Amino acid sequence: MAAVLAVALVAAASCGFEDRNDFRMRSPTMEPTIEEGDIVTATMVEPGEYQPHASDVVVFHAPSDWGSSPGDPPRIYRVIAVPGDTVSCCDRAGRVLHNGTALREPYLAPDGEPPVAFEPLTVPAGHIFVLGDNRELANDSAHNGPLPLSTVIGVVED
């Protein structure tokens, strides 16, 4: 019996099983990509484990200085910039600038509003810059500044 269990554990480890969790989108802040009420599946990450990539959609616990309270449901936003990147808003066409280049964001609604204007900011180590796809409704980094990486609990699967 112990041998069978050991083989099963080795097989599970070698298959790369990851912890996944489902989350309900509780607001329209990621529309049109994720509609309010949709359920998304995220690969869960331990604090300090997440390696950020621009365009990832992440699940996180908003810090208190973002107007969050203990027990609030996690939020879901898109990573726009990672540590060392410079981000600002907006160019004349209302686009976010990432390292001086206008972002191509096909996931935004064509008639959507640009985010709140913000001065160039270099994302510090240990942080990311996140924006909701529905920019006019999202309480995101445009309003609150960079998000600590330690608050990220999952990465939404495609």
Is residue 12 in a domain? Answer: no
Domain count of the fold of the chain: 1
pLDDT in tens, the chain (158 residues): 444 333 333 333 434 556 999 999 999 999 999 999 999 999 999 988 999 999 999 999 999 999 999 899 999 999 999 999 999 999 998 899 999 999 999 999 878 887 789 999 999 999 999 999 999 899 999 999 999 999 999 999 98
Is residue 146 in a domain? Answer: yes
Cβ contact 140:30 at 8 Å: no
Q: Domain limits at 148?
A: 19-156
Cβ contact 136:156 at 8 Å: no
CA distance 21 to 43: 7
